Amino acid sequence: MTVPPSNEQVAVKWLNTIPALTGLVATVLPSALEDWADTGFVTVGNAGGSPHMYLPIAGPVISVHYWAVAVGSARPPWGLAADLYAVARYSSYGALDYAHANRRLTGFPAKYCDVKVQNVNFLSEPERRPGDPGDFAEYIDNLQIDWAPLL
């Protein structure tokens, strides 16, 4: 029996379908900063939302964090973190690429079914989060992903 993946799994999978973000999205930051210092990294977490009352359609709001770090420097690379947001919103397969908006996500672990993403909307502009003790640059915004399990 297969079950639907979690909202976070769907968000990670959807963001990873954006070619410039492939392999740079998870629910936690990699511990080795050197592994992502040149590219930045994106993390996701649940922030709310409402499932459809009568249909098996999820509408989670996902908190998306865009991270960048300059190893050996106390100056956060804000531009790189902001670029990750721009990629998620404007690039090919991003939220505003309507030609590829309605797509099937596959490749979840075996116990989970595939899903169909129906719509993706950014609900806020990216907000800069200064003052991180690790000298990371971080932007955050909220993304709503409407999806349905393909059971």
Q: What is the pLDDT of residues 73-88, one digit of tens each?
A: 889 999 999 999 999 9
Residue 28 has what pLDDT? 97
Let me know if residue 1 belongs to a domain.
no
Let me know if residue 2 belongs to a domain.
no
Let me know if residue 70 belongs to a domain.
yes
Residue 41: CATH number of its domain: 3.30.70
Domain count, the chain: 1
Calculate Rg over the CA atoms of the chain: 16
**pLDDT band, very low/low/confident/very high, at 27 (cuts 50, 70, 90):** very high
Contacts of 21 (CB under 8 A, 6+ apart): 15, 42, 84, 87, 88
Per-residue pLDDT of 97-136, as tens digits, reads 999 989 999 999 999 999 999 999 999 999 999 876 678 9
Residue 74 has what pLDDT? 86
Let me know if residue 127 belongs to a domain.
yes
The four Cα atoms 22, 36, 25, 79 give a dihedral, to 10 degrees, of: -90
The alpha carbon of 53 is separated from its chain's Cα centroid by a whole number of angstroms, namely: 25
Domain enclosing residue 15, as ranges: 7-150
Let me know if residue 101 belongs to a domain.
yes
Let me know if residue 99 belongs to a domain.
yes
The helix (H) or strand (E) run that includes residue 60 is strand 60-69
Let me know if residue 64 belongs to a domain.
yes
